[in-house]
Amino acid sequence: MQKLQICVLDLVCKGPTNTLWARIMHANLASIMPQVIATWCEQEGHQVTMICYTGSEDLSKEIPSNVDLLFISSFTQAALLAYAISNYARSKGAVTVLGGPHARCYPDDAIQYFDYVLGFTNRLTIMEVLSSCTAQRPVGKYLSAGKQPADLCGVRERWKFIEPTLQKAPFLKIVPMLGSVGCPYTCPFCIDASVPYQSLDFQVIKEDLRFLLEKFKRPWVAWHDPNFGIRFEENMEAIASAAPPKSFRFIAESSLSVVTEQRVKVLQDNGFMALLPGIESWFDLGNKSKTGRITGDEKVRQVSDHVNMIFGHIPYVQTNFVLGLDSDSGTEPFELTKRFIDRTPQVFPGYSLLTAFGEAAPLNLEYQQAGRVLPFPFHFLNNHLAMNIKPKNYDWVDFYDKVIDLTAYSFSPKALYKRFKSASNFSTRWMNLMRAVSSEGYGRLRFFRQVRKNLISDKSFRAYFEGESKQLPPFYYNVIKKDLGVWWEWLPEKALLHNENAYYEKTSECKICTAPPVKVG
């Protein structure tokens, strides 16, 4: 096989940026799969350049000018940047490949802008791309292994690509690791709900942890597992057998249902510093928080006690909520969350606006069939800049009023003071404060207020939200143009639009007469 000049680009942000948060944290958000692909390509004998794009790099200089094959990994919020970079690289003669969550969620859109689009990817998928490596235009080729790979390169194998990424992080350096893929739960909105749970090789995990102790005194490790606590005993055994207690500092996502007090103590002994459990709703998904059928105020009390118990052992907890679920109506869900914050002052609340990411979850078929999905450009699909599903039980202005009220409450001086005062260490205080004053707290609040103002004052803006018009409001157009910076010039003209019902249209095709499906919306 001809030796190829390959570049693997991991987009952790959606445009050039130089904020304090970006400079300190973006390199810590690197994904694992681009590093695995870079490793596989090199093992196949190719020349590989890996770039973790944190927003400050000049990609026109860093992507090698003679690149044959450019892999880009992107979340949907960075898709327009990915499309623009692909357009640029193709103009220089490169073949381009898209992988990552956006490729899985919107493959039919992405194949218009890439030569290859990858769904589930294993080593054979990559070898197929490497061996063909030819331009596929005007429409690219979609490849998928059908399921997640059972083997991925560990930290030692990926280290060549991890190290330069971590060098971009000035203080905190977090190594991404994976103990499992998929999730046994079936939260209907989640991309991992339909991926069968499988744990990865515990032997590799142990070796990687030992390897990290050669590199750092007390390594920080973020487990990228969708739900870390599932094979709890095996994971803890792997950590405990790798080194003495508290040799590491870990961050993990886990549902509350698997984090009992006994297990929290084990987590504490093993150096867990931050947990991110999903609560999602006070009226639904009780299985995740071990509250069963209990809802409303009783669930708040139970979950709050549970989270306060965790704080007795783990210094940082972020609880995640989804706003706008069909199970919610009226002011109660928002007021209950405020009550939860009062009862659990240390917690950092993470809010997501309900979003349908293309083919990510079967529930999206229902939303598309009902004509409830709005065509917000991908740039805004990051769970907070836009809610692309018309709420079932709220009028838009009413909904934004409640979201603004809750966000303002969560990041009010009183809440920040209580969070600051009750935090158990300096890093926790610093992290809470930085997140509150950055785009996550105050920045979001400003954006929500502007959207609410536009909903009231601009009829065409409101018509877009109601699904009565597909004309993108200039407000959103201008945000994209500003955020993409130099890459705006390379954005393909049609890329601002996508078919928001593509998933439903392709799956609802009549199997008997092959008649085209009925359009919705």
Point out which residues bind ligand SF4 (CB under 6 A).
Answer: 183, 185, 187, 190, 192-193, 226-227, 255, 278, 288
Provide the minimum distance between the beta carbon of 223 and ligand SF4 in the complex, in angstroms, as a whole number.
12
Question: Which is nearer to ligand SF4, 183 or 403 (by Cβ)?
Answer: 183
Three-point CA angle 306, 227, 181, nearest 5°: 170
Question: Whole-number minimum distance, CB 463 to ligand SF4, in Å?
Answer: 33
- Among residues 101 and 473, whose Cβ is nearest to ligand SF4? 101
Q: Counting every residue, how long is the chain?
A: 521
134 Cβ neighbours under 8 A, 6+ residues apart: 95, 115
Query: Is residue 10 classed as helix, strand or coil in its secondary structure?
Result: strand
> Is the Cβ of residue 225 or residue 483 nearer to ligand SF4 in the bound state?
225
Q: Supply the minimum distance, in Å, between the C-beta of residue 511 and ligand SF4.
A: 29
Amino acid at 270: N
Pick 204 or 361: Cβ nearer ligand SF4: 361
Distance CA 172, CA 166 (A): 9
Q: What is the 3-state secondary structure (H, E, C) of 19-43?
A: CHHHHHHHHHHCCHHHHHHHHHHHH
Name which of 490, 519, 379 is nearest 11 in CA terms: 379
Nearest distance from residue 191's CB to ligand SF4, in Å? 7
Q: What share of the chain is helix, strand, coil (3-state, %, to 5)?
A: 45, 15, 40
Which CB atom, from 226 or from 333, has the smaller least distance to ligand SF4?
226
CB of 250 to ligand SF4, least distance (A): 18
Q: Residue 507: beta bridge partners?
A: none
**Could you tell me the smallest distance in angstroms from the CB atom of residue 184 to ligand SF4?**
7
Q: Show Cβ contacts of residue 255 under 8 Å, excluding neighbours closer than 6 positions.
A: 185, 227, 229, 277, 278, 288, 289
For 77, the token pair is: 């919020």
Pairing mode, strands 198-199 and 180-181? antiparallel
Indicate the residue among 63 and 190 with the shorter CB distance to ligand SF4: 190
Report, in Å, the least distance between residue 286 CB and ligand SF4: 12
Instruction: Identify which of residues 184 and 474 has a Cβ nearer to ligand SF4 in the complex.
Output: 184
**Whose CA is closest to 477, among 467, 491, 463?**
491
Tokens of 92: 């220089």
- d(C-alpha 141, C-alpha 233), whole Å: 42
Element (H, E) at 236: helix 232-242
Shortest separation between residue 348's beta carbon and ligand SF4, angstroms: 18
Rank residues 101 and 140 by Cβ distance to ligand SF4 and give the closer one: 101
Whole-number minimum distance, CB 278 to ligand SF4, in Å?
A: 5
Shortest distance, position 75 Cβ to ligand SF4, whole Å: 15
For ligand SF4, the closer CB: 276 or 434? 276
Nearer Cβ to ligand SF4, position 13 or 193? 193
The smaller minimum CB distance to ligand SF4, of residues 227 and 247, is found at 227
**What is the Cα–Cα distance from 402 to 323, expressed in whole angstroms?**
10
289 or 432: whose CB is closer to ligand SF4? 289
The CB-of-131 to ligand SF4 minimum distance in angstroms stands at 34
DSSP state of 252: E
Residue 98, SS3 per DSSP: strand
Contact 352, 322 (CB under 8 A): yes
Please, what is the end-to-end C-alpha distance for the chain in angstroms? 48
**96 has which bridge partners?**
70
**What stretch of H or E contains 321?**
strand 316-323
Q: How far is the CB of 267 from ligand SF4 (least distance, A)?
A: 17
Report the alpha-carbon distance of residue 119 to residue 136 in Å, rounded: 17
Task: Tell whether omega for the bond before 138 is within 30 degrees of 0, i.e. cis.
Answer: yes
